[in-house]
Every structure is written in structure tokens, then in C-alpha cells.
Structure 1
Amino acid sequence: MPAIALGARPAMAEAAAAIPTTGVVPAALAGFDTAMKTYIAERDISCAQLAVAKNGKILLARGYGSYLKGSTSTLVQPTSLLRIASLSKSLTAAALARLAQDGKVSLGTKVSSLLGLSTTADPRLANVTLWRLLQHTGGWDRDAAYDPLWYDQTISTSLGVPLPIDHADIMKYVTARKLDFAPGAKYVYSNYGYMLAGRVIEKLSGMSYESYVRQKLLAPVGITRPRLGRSLRAQAFATEAPYESQYTRKSVVDDTGAVVPYPYGGFNMPNQDANGGWVASAVDLVKWGFVFDAPGAVLNQTSISRVFAKPETGVNSGGSWYGLGWHVRNNNVGTLNTWHNGSMPGTFSFLARVQNGVSYCAIFNRREEAGTPDFDAIDPILGKAIGTVKTWPTTDLTSRYF
């Protein structure tokens, strides 16, 4: 989709109508498609995806926009790959739930003992269990201090090691410092906690984090496309869309001091693996959500219950809680709504499983930046689109995309 110059846009309806599309939208679900096109036009998004499902059937699969691949204009497909950022956390948490299911570990096990982390700098580190790691109650507060997954230059300088730093460097730097609060005392979102979870998965399984997730979680349900992303555009996968940001940063993938587009070397994708490093498509993610609808080849009922269990801190003031890789809330039909978003420079994603078996995922190749409307608005926008459906279609598109 050609960029629409800010301040010189055509009427929004005209801009939305001009967005090139691929995939299938049943007439009954046209409200979803219209909402997405308007959202995309308002935010000048060049590449996006949407998938909608109900009761284990994929009903809508759509790619929006286009991009240049070499000198060729390429349409975004429903199966194109995009970075999904923190939607990766549901994969990581499910991996540990599966390891517990297989008797490899208890979720009450101390992380410091599993990974051999010193508790000298702060003895409270010994109280961080896998439960606390995955429910974001481990004791790290990125607002009070920093997010070490985005602190590459400082860690490099502090440890006297060259860029790029790796997981071991990040762990060494953080473990030498005090926690920000007592483990279990409160919920504070922590990318670092999920990075540690990835290292636990590798230690317990004897496999790389990526291999374990792909072989034990995704392959059993026929999902083959997702994989860990790479930092540079030259390293992108063949069907991966490009990422956009108005910002630049000094490269963290080498010591040249070069200024690079923020999504391409302004942060280190391999280090983000377990907390935000996957690339996937929207259809992959709604199918992944089916794993939590009933016991099956990946998780049994005990594991699914653990994933959505309330943490020791209980329900927050908004009536929801953070389970294992999902936000969770009771809904008005006696089941659970579960959801998560993902955000990093060049990426915004949202996945939800709501009442009556409906689920949806949207992914975009940019996120909210100065001068753009709120990207979190996608949640109520897609939720409202459910109300436009008079009769849900029954044709299942799953076989077309898997």
C-alpha cells in the first residue's frame, strides 16, 4: 500500500477502500474487514493481517497491504510472517506447562537452583519460582529500573564485552543487582522473567528453546510456519513482511556505532526469543489458541487449568489477572476471556479468545509512535465487530492455510 502522507490524506473511506487485500472474508464477517481497513488507513499501516475463528474453525483469513521485495511489489498474504512480539509469551509459558505435565519439573521449583543463579546480590532471588516468573511477580520492575532486554549498550559497557551481548551477559548483569520488590508481592510485567523461562526450557529439555516449542507444541497441531525472528532486514525470511518506524537507534548487533532503523538492529531479536522473538501469521496464532479450548496432543486439562489460574496476588482492580502467558477475565457466559498484545518497534499484535468460542488475531508492521492514534484500540474495535455478525458462517478455512 503506498504511504499516505500525513496532512494530505484522501478521505478515510477512500483510503481504506484502496488498501490491497488477499485471502477470504465471508459476507457475514464484512464488519471485521471494514473495521480493519479503517484502522489501517487511520494509522498509515502498510502491512497487516487478520484471522477470525469460532469453535475451532478459521472463518476469516486476510492479508492487507503490500511491500517491495527487491523491485517487485508483493501483497501481504494471510500466511505471510510478521514479528509478534509479546504474543510469544503464550508459547513460552505453555512450554513450561508441558514440561511440568511430562514430569520434568514442578512449577514451584526455584529458578535460581534450576539455572545456577547466585543469590548473593539479593537473597530474595531464591524465592522466585517458575510460577512467579511466568505470572510476572518475580521482583523485576522495568519502570523502577530498566528493561535489560533493551539495555544492550549499558550491559556491554558494564561487563566490558563487545556487542552483540547474549543471554548469559544479560543474566550476569541482572543477577549482580538487587530485585525491585519481594517476589510474589505484586504483578509487574517482566520481559526478563520470560527470557529466563526460555533458558529453563533449554536446561530441562536438552533442546534449543525454538526446537522445543516447534517440536513439542506446534508440530502436534500442524503449525509449521512460526520460528524465531532475526535482527536485520537482510536476514528476513522469504515470506516475512518489512517493519516500519519513524525512529532510528545505534546498532546493538555490532560495535560500529552505526545508526540504523529501530526495527533493524536497534534491538537484538535473538535475545528477545522467549519473551518476544517469534515471527508467525495471524492464522497460525488463532490455530495456536485452539490448543487451550480442550485437552489434546499438547496440553492436558491440568496444564490448561494452570495456564489460566489466578496468581497469588489475585485479581486486579479491573477484574482480570495474568495467568501463564495470557491476561484472563471471567466473561458473562461463565467461561474465560483470554488475550495478549505484543509491541516492539515495527510491530503491534493482538490475540484474543472470547465468549462463545470466538477468537481473533491482528498483526501490524508498525506500532503506536508520535502522531499516530492509539494502537490498543484494536481490542474494542474487533470486539465491537463481533456484534455486526448476524449469522456465523460454517465453512472452515483451516485446510486452505495449513
Structure 2
Amino acid sequence: MRRRCGVELHGSAVPGGEAFDDLLRAFTVQHGVAGAALAVGRAGVIEYARSIGWADIDQQIPVEPHSLFRIASLSKPVTAVAILQQVECGALSLEGLVWELLKLDTPHDVRWKQVTIRHLLQHTGGWDRKASFDPMFRSVEFAAEAGTPPPADPSAIIRAMLRRPLDFDPGKQYAYSNFGYCLLGRVLESLPGAQGKSYQQLVREQILTPVGALSPRIGRTLTPQVDEVRYYMPMTGDRVREDSVFAPGTPVNPPYGAWCLETMDSHGGWISSAPDMVRFAMGCDLPLEAGSVNPTSKRPFLLNAASIASLWAEPVSYPRQDPDMWYACGWNVRRAGSGEGRNTWHLGALDGTSTLLVRRWDGMTWCILFNQRKNVAGDELARLIDPLLHPAANQAYAALQARSGH
């Protein structure tokens, strides 16, 4: 008989981390979670890394703290930091025109020529999936237009979108856009310094490896990688079937062919362990001085102070409903704490995947990854656990601080 959830924790117990342990156990049971991994860090050090449930239910393989999960849109902060690093070194400008940088064909909509790097980073480029559609999930249609076998690759998707109108004037409103971050990946690959390297190679070399995040890589849709979990659907499990983008007309379990993970690279295609996402996020801390490294982890900060300011900067080109919350460059931002304090975070979701990465104003950073998107009620797991992690972090903070001595 298949066990739907397991409540044994894996990874070393951490004095002061009991609140996180209790939360993982209770949440897993209450919501029928297949598996999850949680990592918490502070001041450049991983303080907590534990996991619960099953990486593979049928084989009874448990999730381990180092297990790899699809991180979905947690890919966007990674791409944004890579772009800002290129701005910092002078290879790009935030006001650079994407149409010119990519040397694209003449667009159907002249407003394409107004779209800047800043617009793409802040989701103000002109594409609104609620008003029209999400181009990254039109693989079969766009491949047919290109006369190539499906699924469509990023270049075919871009050519298809050049033939279609924008949904609004660039910079005039916010609308979350996977396609905008697809374009940013191609911008990185187009820079002279890229020297023909892929988006994945560039980001691993320039962003991930320097901070010690060695597990992240672009995932594969159809075949799991070593240490990667399996992905599950709520209620109906693997009985759910959707049409394959690799073989149209063939029904598949949605996480394994209803969309193409490889094509999503720069907006949603990475897989990673939870600790390595925390290592990346801690690399976004404000450096102590120009060119400095974190004195605790001995790892470099990824951006200088000016670039960090750009990373969190408020958009000024459109009105916001909440003056204390906005989408900056690859991160959601909310004012918190005192003075210039802020919480920054990102959520991610795909069939079989729910993820959350948080950088809190007091220096606590955490990442939780699930190999299941929703519970049986249809609620997304990362959104459900988000408000519960903050009080757990509050309980853990003093104990972790005393134990680590900083």
C-alpha cells in the first residue's frame, strides 16, 4: 500500500530548531504532503537543514536535506541577480533596449522596441497573461508556426511573440510575465562576455558556484536527475492526464510532459536543494564594504551596494495599490522592521511543485521546497506554510543566535 506521507525527519537535529521540526511534522500530516525540505540560514551560514516525507512514494525513498527539487519561479531571483551583476560590470544598462540587444526581427507591435531590461526585471514589459495568455505554455502551437517538432524552444517562442501585439504600453503597469524572464536569459547569452556559453553555464559560474551553491542546474522534464525527487498531484495522484507537448495526442502525468522545463530555464527551469537556495539568497546580503566577502561564510557577496539598491528599488512608472509592497528586480519586497528594513521573497509553482524563498529583515533566510503543488483542498502548499514559518523563525532566532555566537 502506498503511504501518502511520512513524518520522520531527516538531517541533523539542531538545538533551537525545534519550532521548525514541529511545524514540518504538523504541516505534513495536516495537508497530506508527499515530501518537503527546509533550510534556514543567517549571516552566511546554514543553521538548519532538515526534510520530511517521500522523495519517491512507491519506492519508499525519503526526502533528504540535499534532495533536488524543481524550484519553479525561484529561478527569477537567480536570473535577476545575474543581470544586475552584468549591469554592475558595465556590460548592460537597465535602460538597454531588449529588441536592440537581441537583434530581433521587426515586430508586429512597435512597442516591442520600447521594452527595457528594467521593464523585464520588474514585470512591466507589456505582456499580461491574464489579458491574453502565457507564451511559455504554448509549446505545441508555436512549434507548429516555426515548422519544428514540439516543444518550441525559446527562440521559436520569441519569434512567435514578435508577431503578436503587447497587452499594454511598456512601463505603465505591472503584470507578472514568465516570457519577460525568458528574454532576460537570452540577453545574458547574447553578451560578448558570454563567449557562446549557455544561460545555465553563465549563471552557475558567475552566481551559484562563488557562493557555494553547487547543486542547482536546469532540470529535465522527462527524466529525473541523481538525487531528484518525484513530483505528485493531489487527490488523484498519477491518474491525472494531460496532453504531452513532446508527443501531442499522448496523455501524460502533468509534471512529466504537459510543459517543457528546459524551455523555462531562466524563468522557472532550475532544480536545487533547499540549502543551496539559501546560500544563493544570503549572497544577496548588503556587502560590508566594496569587494568584501562574508566574514562568517568566507563567500563573496554577489553584488555591490549600488546594485543591491537597484535590486530592491521601488518601481516608479506605475501606481501601486500598496505603497509598502512591490515587485522589484526578481524579488517581492515589503517594508518591515524598523528604519530601512524589508522582507524579500519569491514563490514558485508548477504541477507537482511548490516553493518559497524568504530573506527576512532581521537576517534570517529560509527556503522550503515541496514535491507537490497543492493539498486536497486545492490550496498551494508554499502559500499555506508562509505565514507559519515566521513565528517558527521567531522562536528559533534567539536560540540559533546564542548557539552560533553571532
The answer, yes or no, to whether TM exceeds 0.5 is yes
Note if 1:385 corresponds to 2:392. yes
Distance, in Å, in 2 between the alignment partners of 1:178 and 1:236 is: 37
Structure 2 residue aligned with 1:63, among 37, 42, 51? 51
Cα deviation digits, residues 137-190 of structure 1 (max 9, x gap): 000000111101111222233444321211111011111100000000011000
Structure 1 residue aligned with 2:201, among 187, 211, 214? 211
Distance, in Å, in 2 between the alignment partners of 1:268 and 1:219 is: 26
Q: Report the counterpart of residue 360 of structure 1 in structure 2.
A: 366
Amino acid across the alignment from 2:109? D
Q: Are the structure 2 counterparts of residues 169 and 126 from structure 1 closer, same or farther at C-alpha, using a change threshold of 3 Å?
A: same
Structure 2 residue aligned with 1:328, among 329, 333, 344? 333
Q: Report the counterpart of residue 210 of structure 2 in structure 1.
A: 220
Distance, in Å, in 1 between the alignment partners of 2:2 and 2:388 is: 24
CA contact (8 A) 1:314 1:321 kept: no
Q: How much has 1:373 moved relative to structure 2?
A: 3.6
Secondary structure class of the residue paired with 1:391: helix
Q: Report the counterpart of residue 313 of structure 2 in structure 1.
A: 309
Q: How much has 1:41 moved relative to structure 2?
A: 1.9
Secondary structure class of the residue paired with 1:356: coil
Equivalent residues in 2 for 1:3-402, closer than 5 Å:
3-4=3-4, 19-68=7-56, 72-204=59-191, 205-206=194-195, 207-232=197-222, 235-245=223-233, 246=237, 247-255=240-248, 257-295=249-287, 296=293, 297=300, 298-313=302-317, 316-318=320-322, 319-334=324-339, 335-368=341-374, 371-375=377-381, 376-389=383-396, 391-394=398-401, 395=403
Distance, in Å, in 2 between the alignment partners of 1:218 and 1:321 is: 26
Distance, in Å, in 2 between the alignment partners of 1:175 and 1:132 is: 17
Cα deviation digits, residues 38-59 of structure 1 (max 9, x gap): 2222222212100112232221
Q: Report the counterpart of residue 9 of structure 1 in structure 2.
A: none
| Percentage of matched positions with identical amino acids | 37
Cα deviation digits, residues 340-366 of structure 1 (max 9, x gap): 010011100001111211111110001
Amino acid across the alignment from 2:352? G
Q: Report the counterpart of residue 12 of structure 1 in structure 2.
A: none
Structure 1's unaligned 5+ residue stretches are 5-14, 397-402
Secondary structure class of the residue paired with 1:19: coil
Q: How much has 1:37 moved relative to structure 2?
A: 2.0
Secondary structure class of the residue paired with 1:100: helix
Q: How much has 1:381 moved relative to structure 2?
A: 0.8
CA contact (8 A) 2:42 2:282 kept: no
Q: Are the structure 2 counterparts of residues 275 and 389 from structure 1 closer, same or farther at C-alpha, using a change threshold of 3 Å?
A: same
Distance, in Å, in 2 between the alignment partners of 1:35 and 1:106 is: 44
Q: Aligned residue pairs: how many?
A: 380
Q: How much has 1:290 moved relative to structure 2?
A: 1.1
Distance, in Å, in 2 between the alignment partners of 1:213 and 1:192 is: 18
Q: Are the structure 2 counterparts of residues 370 and 2 from structure 1 closer, same or farther at C-alpha, using a change threshold of 3 Å?
A: closer
Distance, in Å, in 2 between the alignment partners of 1:228 and 1:147 is: 21
Distance, in Å, in 2 between the alignment partners of 1:310 and 1:133 is: 14
Q: How much has 1:374 moved relative to structure 2?
A: 4.2
Amino acid across the alignment from 2:42? K
After alignment, is 24-33 or 257-266 more displaced?
24-33
Q: Are the structure 2 counterparts of residues 65 and 370 from structure 1 closer, same or farther at C-alpha, using a change threshold of 3 Å?
A: closer
CA contact (8 A) 1:2 1:46 kept: no
Distance, in Å, in 2 between the alignment partners of 1:103 and 1:304 is: 15
Distance, in Å, in 2 between the alignment partners of 1:164 and 1:391 is: 50
CA contact (8 A) 2:56 2:229 kept: no
CA contact (8 A) 1:43 1:373 kept: no
After alignment, is 77-86 or 60-69 more displaced?
60-69
